[in-house]
Amino acid sequence: MKKYPFSEIEKKWQSYWEEHQTYRVKEDPSYPPEKRKYVLDMFPYPSGSGLHVGHPEGYTATDIYSRYLRMTGHNVLHPMGFDSFGLPAETYAMQTGTHPRITTEANIDTFRRQLKQLGFGYDWDREISTHSPEYYKWTQWIFLKLWEKDLAYVAEIPVWYCEKLGTVLANEEVITTPDGPRSERGMHPVERKPLRQWMLKITKYADRLLEDLDELDWPESLKTMQRNWIGKSEGANVRFEIDGHDRHLEVYTTRPDTLFGATYMVMAPEHQLVHEITGDEQRQAVEEYIRTAALKSDLERTDLAKDKTGVFTGAYAVNPVNNQRIPIWISDYILISYGTGAIMAVPGHDERDWEFARKFELPVIRVVAPEDEVKDQSTETLKDYRRDMEEVFPEKGVSVNSGLITGLPTDQAKSRIITWLEEQGTGTRAVNYKLRDWIFSRQRYWGEPIPLVQDQKGEFTPVPASDLPLTLPEVESYKPSGTGESPLANVPEWVNTPVPGTSGEPGQRETNTMPQWAGSCWYYLRYIDPHNDDELAAKDKIEYWMPVDLYVGGTEHAVLHLLYARFWHKVLYDIGVVNTKEPFQRLVNQGMITSYAYQRDDSSLVPTDEVEEVKQGEFIETATGAKVTQVVAKMSKSLKNVINPDDIIREYGADSMRLYEMFMGPLEQSKPWSTQGLIGIHRFLDKIWRTAHKEINAGSSNPELEKVLHKTIKKVGEDTSSLSFNTAISQMMIFINEAYKQESINLNIWKNFVLLLGPYAPHLAEELWSMTGETESIALQDWPVYDEALTRDDEITLVVQVNGKVRAKLDVSAGLPKDELEKLAVDNDRIRELTRDKTIRKVIVVPDKLVNIVAT
C-alpha cells in the first residue's frame, strides 16, 4: 500500500471543487429562515508576506462549522474577500514607485492561492476587494447618506500627524518611546498638529450602541470593552467663573455631590483659555509645559501609575456652591478630547486628584464619609465634620461639610445639588460619553476618495450618486503634499472640477481619503449581492441572509472595527437599507497561534536567526554572546519566527494543518505552534488512510465498532455545533484506534465515519468517499444519525465514596436503578469495613456515575 499521498489527493479535489462550483450558494426559498446561516470570517488585509499559520485558525473553524451546517440541512453563506485599501501598500509605493493597486492585487493572488490550497469551502464567486471601484462606489454612496443625515462634518482638531508617513494617526497607532511618541508602523516621529478633518457623528448613536449590546451573543468581556469605550456616565455640567476675567470654565462631573470639596481646577494644556488667563509670572513655565505635553501620547498622559505633573496658571476660579477662590492649574493627565478639557479637582475623593494635591501641597477637604461612620450623627454635626483625611475615599457615602446637601446619601445629594445648580443658573444635569466623534479622513492616496466638491464660498456639494464611483486618479508621486493634505492635492486636473448641479461654477474635490475602516464597515453586506450595479445589495437578499449568524476573528478588532460597523449598520437600518438593528448576532474571538522567540534580560526580543542553541535548554545570542531565554511570542517578520503555511502544506498537507490547528486546544485560547504536534496529526491521517485499505465490505459485522461509531457520531456532532473542535477530533481518534484493530470493517460503519471526517479533513474525506464507490461530493451528503441506545455502555465503572472520598470502584451493568446501586455499594466488602463502626446517615446515588455514603 502506498503511503498517504496527500499532495495528489489535495490537488485533485481542489480542482474538482472549482470545476463543479461545489460551494456556490443561492438564495433558495425552500429553506425556511431557521435553516439559513451566514458564517463570516473577519477578512484579511493582503500583506506582501502572505498568510502565516496563525491566520487560517479562524478560517478553518468557520469552514468546519459551515460544512457541518450544510450536511445538517442548512443553506450556508460562507464568503471571503480582502480589506485591500491601507497604508502598507502606499508606503511600499512611496519606496518603489509601484502603484498600490499592482502590489495589492499581486498580494491578493497569493492569499487566494493559499486559501484555496487549504481547501476552504468559500463561494469564490462572491469574492470582494475594498479597493475595487465596483465596491467602493457603494462605500462612497454610504458616506453620502451619512452626509445627508448630517452625520458628517468638517472640523479643525488637534491630531497625531506623522510627517514621514504623511498622514494622521489614531491614538491607537501611536506608541510612547524614550525618544517621544512614534508611529506604531515604522517607528517614525509624530507630533500634535491642528488639521482640517472629516468627522462622523458616531456619538449620536452612543445610546443605541450601548443598549443593543444586551441582545448580542458575544463574549461578555468584549461587550464590556465596548461599553467602556463608549463610557456613558450621568452627572452635571458646572460653570465656574474665572476671577478677574470675563470668562468661565465649564466642567463635567459624575460627582456633583463633591463640589464643596473642590479645592483647585485643572485644565488640559491645549485648552483654549490657557494662554488668556495665564499670569505673566507663570507664562514661561506654562508654555514650556505645553510644549512637553505635546510630545506625549494620550495613553502615556492618562497612565494611572505615572507621576503627576502640572503648572499653576496664576488664575483662580470661583466655586459656585461656596464662592471660594480656587487655583487653576494645567496638567497633561487632563485630555482636551474628553469632556470639556477641564475638571474640578476634589482630592479627598478622587485618586488622581489626591496624588496631584499631595505633590503640590494643595488643600484636601473631606466631603463624603462612609455611611457606617456617620449613621448616628445629626445633620448639624455633619456640617462641621472633621475635614482632615489620611487616605482618599472615592466611594459613595454620606455628604459632610457640604452645606445644603449635608447628611444626604450620595445619590440623593447628587440630585439635590444638580437641582440647586439649575435654579442658580450655574449648572445643568448632563450625560457624557468617553466616545468621541470618529476622525474619518486620512492624508493618503490609497483610500476611497470622499465624494464632495467645495465651492469658492467653502460650501460642499455631494457628487451625484449616478456619477459614482469617484475613482482615484493616476499620480506621479505617492508622497504627501507637504501641506498636510493627501497626494491627491498634487493633481490639479483632478482636484479642479465644476461644482455638481451648477453651470460650470469652479470647485475643488475633497483631497482627503477615507480610512481603511470605511471599507470594512459594511463588507458583509456586499457578499450578499456582490455583482449588483444598481444598489448596495438587493433588499430581498439582505432579508434572506441577515444578520450574520457567526462572526469569527481576532481580539484586535474587539472595539473599533466592531463599533464602527455597528454604527454604519444602524444608519443603514434607519434609512431602510437593512432589516436588522445589529449586523453580527454571534461573535467568537479565536486565540492567537504563537511561535518561539528569544528574550534578553531587559525583556527585549531577539530574532530567531540571531540565536544558537548551545546545549539543551541553553541559548546564546550570537551577536553579543549573551544568554537568552526561549519564550512564546506573537509571530512577527521582525522576529523571524513566522511559519509559512506553504511550507507546512508542502511537507504535511493541508488537511494535516487544518486538523492540527483545531486539535491544539479550545478555539478561544492562544496556543504555541509545535511541529511535533503537527507530525502527530499527520500520522493520525496516515492511519486513517491505512485503515481505508483494510477489507471493507457490506457483509462484515463489527458490533463493538458500531457502538464506538454511534458514540462518535453523537460526540463529533455535539462538539462541532459548539465549536469544540479539539474534543471532536479526540473522539475520531478513538474510533480509528478501534477500527484499525479490525481485520475487516463494515462498509456502512466506515462510510458514516468518513462523513464525520468530511468537514475536518475535506480532501482526504472526498478521496475515501469516492473509494467506497460514491460519485457525488461528500460535501453534499447528509450528516449521520446516531442511535441513542448504541451510545450507552453495557457496563460502567461506579465510583463509591464515603463522606466524599473515593473508597471503591465497581464494574456494574449500565442503567441499574438507584436502589440496586445503593445495595451494591453498601454491601461491598471494602465499604462495609469502612462503615462498620459508623451509622450511615444518608446515601446519595447518581445513576451510572457514583454513590456517596454519608456515615458518622
Rounded Cα distance between 578 and 569, Å, is: 7
At 398, the amino acid letter reads V
CA dihedral defined by 72, 530, 535, 203, rounded to 10 degrees? 80
Distance spanning both ends of the chain, measured CA to CA: 65
153 contact partners, CB below 8 Å, separation of at least 6: 198, 199, 201
Structural element, H or E, at residue 290: helix 280-293
Closest CA to 450 of 120, 187, 146, 663: 146
Say how far residue 516 (Cα) sits from the centre of its chain: 16
Residue 305 C-alpha from the chain's centroid: 26
The verdict on whether residue 687 carries a ligand-binding annotation is no
Distances from the Cα of 618 to the Cαs of 604, 614, 643, in angstroms? 18, 6, 23
Integer Cα distance of 219 and 669 in angstroms = 13
Q: Which pLDDT belongs to residue 476? A: 82
Cα separation values, 797 from 413, 561, 584, 703, 709, Å: 64, 51, 45, 21, 21
Return the HEC string of 682-733.
Answer: HHHHHHHHHHHCCEEECCCCCHHHHHHHHHHHHHHHHHHHCCCHHHHHHHHH
C-alpha grid cell for residue 414? Answer: 447628587
The CATH number of 643-789 is 1.10.730.10
How far apart CA 230 and CA 235 sit, in angstroms, is 16
* CA–CA gap between residue 726 and residue 840 (Å, rounded): 43
- Residue 461: CB atoms within 10 A of its CB come to 17
Q: Which grid cell sits at 834?
A: 469502612
**What's residue 185's pLDDT?**
76
pLDDT of residue 304: 64
The CA–CA distances, whole Å, from 55 to 222, 241, 657, 661 equal: 21, 57, 12, 10
Domain range summary for the chain, segments of one domain joined by +: 148-204+437-509, 233-429, 594-639, 643-789, 793-855
> Beta strands 550-553 and 587-589: pairing type?
parallel
Single-letter amino acid, residue 45:
Y
Q: State how far the Cα of 824 lies from the Cα of 428, in Å rounded to an integer.
A: 75
Question: In the chain, which stretches have pLDDT less than 50?
Answer: none
Residue 652: the pLDDT is 97
Fold of 793-855: Ubiquitin-like (UB roll) (3.10.20)
Mean pLDDT of the chain: 93
Q: Say what the pTM is.
A: 0.87
Rounded to whole angstroms, how far apart are CA atoms 227 and 211? 9
Q: Is 126 helix (H, G, I), strand (E, B) or coil?
A: helix
Take residue 290 and report the three cell numbers written for it.
Answer: 505645553
Place of cell 471543487: 17
Task: Answer yes or no: are the C-beta atoms of 107 and 50 closer than 8 Å.
Answer: yes
In the 3-class helix/strand/coil scheme, how is 777-828 assigned residue by residue?
A: CHHHCCCCCCCHHHHCCCEEEEEEEECCEEEEEEEEECCCCHHHHHHHHHCC
Spatial CB neighbours of 670, under 8 Å, sequence gap ≥ 6: 591, 592, 593, 594
Asked if 530 contacts 137 with a C-beta cutoff of 8 angstroms, the reply is no
| Residue 244: exposure state from Cβ atoms within 10 A (0-12, 13-18, ≥19) | exposed
Q: What is the distance between the alpha carbons of residues 43 and 130, in angstroms, rounded to a whole number? A: 10
Please tell me the chain's helix, strand, coil percentages from 3-state DSSP, rounded to the nearest 5. Answer: 40, 20, 40
Strand-pairing partners, residue 253, are 236
Q: Taking the CA of residue 775 as centre, how many other CA atoms within 13 Å lie in the half-sphere pointing to its CB?
A: 0
Tally of CB atoms within 10 A around 211: 11
**Cα–Cα distance, 463 to 104 (Å, whole number):** 27
Dump the DSSP string for 530-578.
TT-SSSSS-HHHHHHHPSBSEEEE-GGGTTHHHHHHHHHHHHHHHTTS-
Asked if residue 115 lies in contact with residue 122, where contact means CB atoms within 8 angstroms, the answer is yes
In whole angstroms, give the CA distance from residue 267 to residue 312. 10
Q: Pick from 394, 158, 421, 442: which is nearest to 272 by CA?
A: 158
pLDDT tens digits, 568-589: 999 999 999 999 999 999 999 9
DSSP readout, 243-254?
TTSS-EEEEEES
Pairwise CA distance, residues 87 & 306, whole Å: 33
Cα–Cα distance for residue pair 718/226, rounded to 1 Å:
31
CATH superfamily of 233-429: Valyl/Leucyl/Isoleucyl-tRNA synthetase, editing domain (3.90.740.10)
Residues 6+ apart with CB under 8 A from 457: none
Q: How many CA atoms lie within 13 A of 253 on its CB side?
A: 29
Q: What is the pLDDT of residue 481?
A: 64
Helices H, strands E: what count in the chain?
Answer: 28, 35
Report whether 682 contacts 39 (CB < 8 A). no
CA distance 183 to 192: 12
Identity at 56, one-letter amino acid code? P
How far is residue 727's CA from residue 662's CA, in Å, rounded to a whole number? 9
Cβ atoms of 317 and 240 within 8 Å: the answer is yes
- The answer to whether residues 720 and 728 touch, using CB atoms and an 8 Å cutoff, is yes
**Entry field: residues in the chain:** 856
